């Protein structure tokens, strides 16, 4: 390829990430003459998928432009790596989270057995889907509160 465009840079970056070669991915990222939100999200995702929470947070904070994928990527990073308090703080720092993000945090509360927080979040959700309902039901069922679990089946 005689001249690389942004798409080709992002494809190469994604390839390094998929092969868990984060060092080479970072070198390539730093060499990129132009970066877009996709470039930043790919790198953030790479760190997140490999458990590098601090690196993912640093990338997020450095991003000149963030989109829903960026925000949800960092939220999911915290949840998946046990940082539920960080996830909660991030969630509270902005409004208008999409349903997938709300479900992500709800799942984090379930994993940490934070029933009260899960209930508050679920009750505040203006839109709910089957994932939301199944998560809150599981939350109560796994904590031996079958009466409340059954309540959410209706």
Q: So what's the pLDDT on residue 130? A: 93
Residue 103: HSE in the Cβ half-sphere, 13 Å Cα cutoff: 14
- Using only C-alpha atoms, the chain has a radius of gyration, in whole angstroms, of 18
Asked whether residue 147 carries a pLDDT value surpassing 80, the answer given is yes
Which three-class secondary structure string do you get for 10-29?
HHHHHHHHHCCCHHHHHHHH
Provide the percentage of residues in the chain whose pLDDT is more than 70.
Answer: 98
Provide the percentage of residues in the chain whose pLDDT is more than 90.
Answer: 82
Asked whether residue 2 carries a pLDDT value surpassing 70, the answer given is no
Chain-centre distance of CA 83, in angstroms? 11
Write out pLDDT tens, residues 82-139. Answer: 999 999 999 999 988 999 999 999 999 999 999 999 999 999 999 999 999 999 999 8
Where are the chain's structural domains? Answer: 1-83, 98-154
Which three-class secondary structure string do you get for 101-140?
HHHHHHHHHHHCCCHHHHHHHHHHCCCCCHHHHHHHHHHH
Architecture of domain 1-83: Alpha Horseshoe (1.25)
Biggest CA–CA distance in the chain, Å, is: 66
């Amino acid at each position: 390829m005689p001249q690389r465009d942004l798409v080709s840079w992002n494809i190469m970056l994604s390839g390094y990430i998929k092969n868990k070669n984060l060092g080479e991915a970072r070198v390539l990222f730093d060499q990129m003459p132009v970066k877009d939100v996709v470039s930043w999200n790919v790198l953030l995702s790479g760190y997140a998928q490999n458990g590098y929470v601090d690196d993912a947070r640093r990338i997020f904070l450095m991003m000149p432009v963030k989109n829903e994928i960026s925000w949800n990527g960092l939220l999911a990073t915290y949840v998946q790596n046990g940082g539920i308090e960080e996830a909660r703080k991030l969630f509270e720092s902005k409004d208008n989270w999409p349903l997938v993000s709300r479900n992500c945090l709800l799942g984090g509360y379930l994993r940490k057995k934070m029933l009260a927080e899960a209930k508050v979040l679920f009750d505040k959700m203006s839109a709910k889907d089957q994932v939301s309902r199944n998560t809150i039901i599981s939350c109560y069922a796994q904590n031996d509160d079958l009466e409340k679990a059954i309540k959410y089946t209706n």
